[in-house]
Amino acid sequence: MNLYLTLAFRYLGGRKLRTALTTLAIVFGVMVIFGMNTYMPTFIKTFQTQAKAAAGQVDLTITQKTGEAFDPTVLNQIRAVDGVTVATGSLERLINLPANYVDGNPGTPDRITAVILKGIVPQEARQMIAYNIVEGRFLEEGDTRAAVITRSLAREFGIGLGDTLTLPTAIGLSDLTVVGILPEQILPGNEVVLVSLAEAQRLTNMPGKINIVDANLDSMEEARRNEIQQNVLKAIGDAYKIGALEAGSEILTNIRNAQSIFNLMGFLALVMGGFIIFNTFRTIIAERRRDIGMLRALGASRRTIRWLILTEGLIQGVIGTALGLVLGYLFGAFTLNLVTPMMQEFLNITVSTPAISPALVLTSILLGVGITVLSGLIPANSATRITPLEALRPSLGNVSFKRIAGISFWAGVVLLTIAVGFLFTGSMEWLGLGALLFVGAIILMAPALVNPISILFASLLTLLFARDGTAQLAEGNLSRQPGRATVTASTTMIALAVVVMMAGVLSSVSLTFIHVMEKSLGSDYLIMPPTLAVWGSNTGAAPQLADDLRRVPGVTVVSTLRFAGTQMKDIAVGILGIEPQSYRELDLLSFTRGDPEAVYRAMENERVMIINGVLAAAAGIQPGDEVEVLTPMGKQTYRVAAVATDYLNAKTTTAYISQRFIEEDFGREEDIFFQINVAPDADRQAVESAFSAILKDYPQFKLVDGKKYVEENARLFDAVFLGMYVLAAFLAIPSLIAMVNTLAIGVIERTREIGMLRAVGAIRRQVRRMILSEALILSAIGTAFGILAGLYMGYMGVKAFEAMGYPMDYIFPGSGILAAVAIGILFGALAAVVPARQAARLDVVEALRYE
């Protein structure tokens, strides 16, 4: 085997635990990045296929930018464009099916969770697409309650030609007779149920509306087709776009946000891994000064030495990355398994197994291996400066990392100032950069601060221990070697910074969210559609349902939500129509800006909207701004009056307007979510059974006890946060062990010196105390800096969430700091126990001969 590899493997193998722990950091970083990026796009893709209507084989598909329905008069404008041969309008709507709707068996999840109801004009549609009927007939003009479905859908439902297909619709459960069967659906995406346009308009409660225009063109030539497309768009105006309907694009923003948070986390983990490796290599080189000197004496060139060190890094990088990739995949699959039930419940989608993209594998490998090798570079370079003489002359253990404390200290101060300045930018990117600068600043400043701080702590320890000079000795040892002290202390710092940061961010996030949740879902009962937050893909109910609910004895308030999709400043936005009166009564929104009373009042009669933080951040709008909103009837101007959010929509770009205007501007009267309060003395059982009876015709809705729902969600939150803490431990433990390691090495390196101390009369207890004091001083320094860094990074994390628009209250992580102090002292003492015993037991004669 190659000399580099032989040596690298032998050295790594000689320190198995240390190797494993340093590699762990890389494993972890790669795991998060690879796992998340493998599984997130899969999720997004599934989501998109689900949301996108199956695009037909037509030349041109035109929809409203908002995704809303519009008036068929547009058709004439399109037909009039030169080059358009035929154009037909249809109305398409995704119908989410309740759980176990198809097979009625709770044991197995349904293969089909949603269908697309498509209303067409039969004659025109057949001109555009050659529908291949395998059984029965196609739809005909004047058909009522007739449907054409695929063979695969028929099989799923266990029905055939002439049988009845029952679907949950806006007007309750509706029966359709199957008159024709199409071939099996092969392409991915939802199954389509074809009905006549009039039928679709009736079932979706959208009389006289269409939402898609399909057209064929007279040319196959690319340039000509583009020209025709441009002319079509010109003719119908910029409220329309070429392309199929996309429901739920507002939630995609949220998923992408999550993805960048995870990427940031993974990257931070990798940077930390790099830092741990950097520290380990510095110790490795201090340890092996003699070996390296010997190699140099025997004729190894500087380049050879550099490669020897880098090869070790490379091996750790490669192994760590490989493990990270495998674990990342498993982790992704595991998470997927964990969230699948949640996805099915809240979003009504099933995510397929993740697909691995070669580009992602490559990126992960480059990041994992790259960062490891990069971290090894500086230590490797300093190793090349070791002279052959170091092997030959018994020297007194000077660590060769000389630092110009002056320059690096002031550079650190500058970085620190910049980092703190970034806190005020409120921008995600700057905050992230600030965190890196902050850590860098502390590392730069640490060596200069080691002296004063160790003197301070030494005097504290003197008070603690009797005045036998051991604390001073320890302090002296540290300030003589600020380089080594910094290495050890900064490892502790990183570990504890993570603990404090996580505590800060997590407690802030969880408390804020639970607060918002209790507020916005705190009604007695909730009636929920199959998918929450992706409102556009739900089949709601005509106002009749709400009226029926209000008539149930004991009910005091029924507040409903109506939904319409739109665009503001080219950003997909979900518009929620609320009843200002009942929203005020139930106090469902958490306001961050604006006066609730005034806003709710203004909404009743004016085009006034409340936006949530995510939208405010994404579109850069503020209370007081006037915004243009795309509606099926053209553009409308709304005044933004407040920023507020509720729990379900906190993560998606959302605006709230009154139901009066969602009807006027968007033509929506369909209720998709109900929040109900009952009188305190109401007979709950009677109320619940009355609700159930009413909802029988609307199987798409689920009746939920509000209090229970909040509790359930809070529990879910707790589980997620527990997971986060485990992740934090994952990050912290390797660096804590690295600290124990560096400390132990410090003692071993000074075996001879300790032997001398014993020879000149230090008793065992004094030696033990000296080592213990040293460890405690080091961990105290590390803990102090770690807490500082953690507080900054935690605050930054909260600011980052705020910058993305989530409502956040910063909560000072008091318990996190206590935990950090406890961990710091515990590990500091732990790190000292073994070396201190060893040092105390040292045979004086042996120690003096040691070299």
Partner 1 sequence: MSNPIVSTQSLTKVYGQGAAAVRALDGVNLTIQPGEFVAVMGPSGCGKSTLLHLIGGLDRPTSGTVWLDGQDLTQLNDDQVTAIRRKKMGFIFQFFNLIPVLNALENAALPMILDGMRPAEARKRAQEWLERVGLGHRLTHRPSELSGGEQQRVAIARALASDPALILADEPTGNLDSRASEEIAGLLRQISSTWERTILMVTHDARIAAYADRIVFLKDGKIVDETVLEHRNGEQAEMVADKMKEIGD
Q: Does 17 bind partner 1 (CB under 8 A)?
A: no
Judged by DSSP in three states, 559 sits in strand
- Give the C-alpha separation, 736 to 493, whole Å: 9
Q: Cβ 388 to partner 1, closest distance in Å?
A: 4
**CB 439, CB 418: distance < 8 Å:** no
Angle (nearest 5°) at CA 270 between 269 and 275: 95
Query: What's the N-to-C CA distance of the chain in angstroms?
Result: 31
What is the nearest approach in angstroms of partner 1 to the Cβ of residue 308?
Answer: 11
In the bound state with partner 1, the residue whose beta carbon lies nearer, of 294 and 460, is 294
If binding means CB under 8 A, how many residues of this protein chain bind partner 1?
Answer: 27
300 binds partner 1 (CB under 8 A): yes
Is residue 304 part of the contact set for partner 1 (CB under 8 A)?
yes
Six token digits for residue 595 = 């006066």
CB nearer partner 1, residue 11 or residue 70: 11
Helix (H), strand (E) at residue 844? helix 844-849
Contact criterion met (CB below 8 Å) for 538 and 530: yes
**Which are the contacts of 18, defined by CB distance < 8 A and separation ≥ 6?**
280, 737, 738, 741
Among 112, 159, 198, 294, binds partner 1 (CB under 8 A): 294
- Contact call for residue 400 and partner 1 (CB under 8 A): no
Which residue in 307, 329, 457, 327 sits closest to 384, CA to CA? Answer: 307
Please tell me whether residue 296 binds partner 1 under the rule CB under 8 A.
yes
Does residue 16 touch partner 1 according to CB under 8 A? no
For the CB of residue 307, give the shortest distance to partner 1 in the complex, in Å. Answer: 12
- Residue 303 Cβ vs partner 1, minimum distance, rounded to whole Å: 8
| DSSP characters over 598-632 | HHHHHHHHS-EEEE-HHHHHHHT--TT-EEEEEET
Report DSSP state, residue 246: B
| Nearest Cα to Cα of residue 784 among 493, 584, 423, 479 | 493
- Would you say 297 or 418 has its CB closer to partner 1? 297
Question: What Rg do the C-alpha atoms of the chain give, in angstroms?
Answer: 34
Residue number, 107 or 299, with CB nearest to partner 1: 299
String of DSSP letters for 262-292: HHHHHHHHHHHHHHHHHHHHHHHHHHTHHHH
Residue 299 is a binding residue for partner 1 (CB under 8 A): yes
Applying CB under 8 A, the span of 8-16, 74-82, 88-96, 360-368 interacting with partner 1 comes to 8-16
**Cβ atoms 178, 154 nearer than 8 A:** yes
Q: Is 467 an interacting residue with respect to partner 1 (CB under 8 A)?
A: no
Residue 848 near partner 1 by CB under 8 A: no
Stretch 374-393 residues interacting with partner 1 (CB under 8 A): 387-389, 391-393
752 binds partner 1 (CB under 8 A): no
CA dist., res. 698 & res. 545, Å (int): 9
Instruction: Provide the minimum distance between the beta carbon of 390 and partner 1 in the complex, in angstroms, as a whole number.
Output: 10
Beta bridge partners of 565: 574
Task: Give the integer Cα–Cα distance in Å for 497 and 818.
Answer: 12
Q: Which residue, 230 or 301, has its beta carbon nearer to partner 1? A: 301
Closer residue to partner 1 in complex, CB, 14/207: 14
Asked if 396 is part of the footprint of partner 1 (rule: CB under 8 A), the reply reads no
| Integer Cα distance of 384 and 391 in angstroms | 13
| Contact residue for partner 1 among 60, 192, 295, 775 (CB under 8 A) | 295
158 binds partner 1 (CB under 8 A): no
297 binds partner 1 (CB under 8 A): yes
- Closest CB to partner 1 among residues 3, 822: 3
Both tokens of 578, joined, read: 């609320």
**Closest to partner 1 by CB, 252 or 308:** 308
Q: Please report how close the Cβ of residue 850 comes to partner 1 at its closest, in angstroms.
A: 10
Q: Which residue of 73, 166, 301, 689 would you call a contact of partner 1, by CB under 8 A?
A: 301
Give residue for tokens 């800060």: 504
Q: State yes or no: residue 745 binds partner 1 (CB under 8 A).
A: no
Q: Which residues of 217-239 are buried (b: 16+ CB within 10 A; e: fewer)?
A: beeeeeeebeebbebbbebbeeb
How many residues can be counted in the chain? 851
C-beta closer to partner 1: residue 1 or 463: 1
Which DSSP helix (H) or strand (E) runs through 228? helix 222-236
- Residue found under tokens 């969600």: 713
484 binds partner 1 (CB under 8 A): no
In whole angstroms, the minimum distance from the beta carbon of 738 to partner 1 comes to 21
- Which residue has 């930054």 as its token pair? 796
Is 3 a binder of partner 1 (CB under 8 A)? yes
Site string for partner 1, 233-272 (x = CB under 8 A): ----------------------------------------
CB of 795 to partner 1, least distance (A): 46
Q: How far is the CB of 394 from partner 1 (least distance, A)?
A: 7
Q: Does 307 bind partner 1 (CB under 8 A)?
A: no
Residues 6+ apart with CB under 8 A from 565: 66, 67, 68, 247, 249, 250, 536, 572, 573, 574, 575
Whichever of 136 and 397 has its CB closer to partner 1, that residue is 397
**How many helices (H) and strands (E) in the chain?**
27, 20
Residue 605: what residue type? N
Least distance CB 5 / partner 1 (angstroms): 11
Please report, to the nearest 10 degrees, the dihedral formed by the alpha carbons of residues 611, 614, 50, 179 taken in order: 0
The answer to whether residue 845 forms part of the interface with partner 1 (CB under 8 A) is no
Nearer to partner 1, 10 or 467 (CB): 10
Pick one of 137, 234, 302, 550: the residue that binds partner 1 (CB under 8 A). 302
Residues with Cβ within 8 Å of residue 842, at least 6 apart in sequence: 751, 754, 755, 758, 767
Q: Which stretch binds partner 1 (CB under 8 A): 6-14, 319-327, 613-621, 671-679?
A: 6-14
Binders of partner 1 among 272-291, rule CB under 8 A?
Answer: 290-291
Among 10, 16, 467, 696, indicate the residue that binds partner 1 (CB under 8 A).
10
**Which residues contact residue 20 at a Cβ distance below 8 angstroms, ignoring those fewer than 6 apart?**
none
Binding mask 333-372 for partner 1 (x = CB under 8 A): ----------------------------------------
For partner 1, give the closer residue by CB, 11 or 647: 11
The residue among 387 and 472 lying less far from partner 1, judged by its C-beta, is: 387
| Residue placing its CB nearer to partner 1 in the complex, 287 or 663 | 287
If phi over 0 gives left and psi between -120 and 50 gives alpha, with beta otherwise, what is residue 145?
Answer: left
Instruction: Provide the minimum distance between the beta carbon of 289 and partner 1 in the complex, in angstroms, as a whole number.
Output: 10
Stretch that binds partner 1, among 5-13, 103-111, 317-325, 554-562 (CB under 8 A): 5-13
Contact region with partner 1 (CB under 8 A), list: 300-308, 520-528, 662-670, 764-772: 300-308
Count of alpha carbons within 13 Å of 679, Cβ hemisphere only?
10
Question: How many CB atoms sit inside 10 A of residue 368's CB?
Answer: 30
What's 541's DSSP letter? Answer: B
By the rule CB under 8 A, 394 interacts with partner 1: yes
Q: CB 298 → partner 1: shortest distance, Å?
A: 5
For residue 301, give every residue at least 6 positions away whose Cβ sits within 8 Å of its Cβ, in sequence order, or none: none
* Residue 761 is a binding residue for partner 1 (CB under 8 A): no
What residues make contact with partner 1 under the rule CB under 8 A?
1, 3, 6-7, 10-11, 14, 290-291, 294-302, 304, 387-389, 391-394, 851
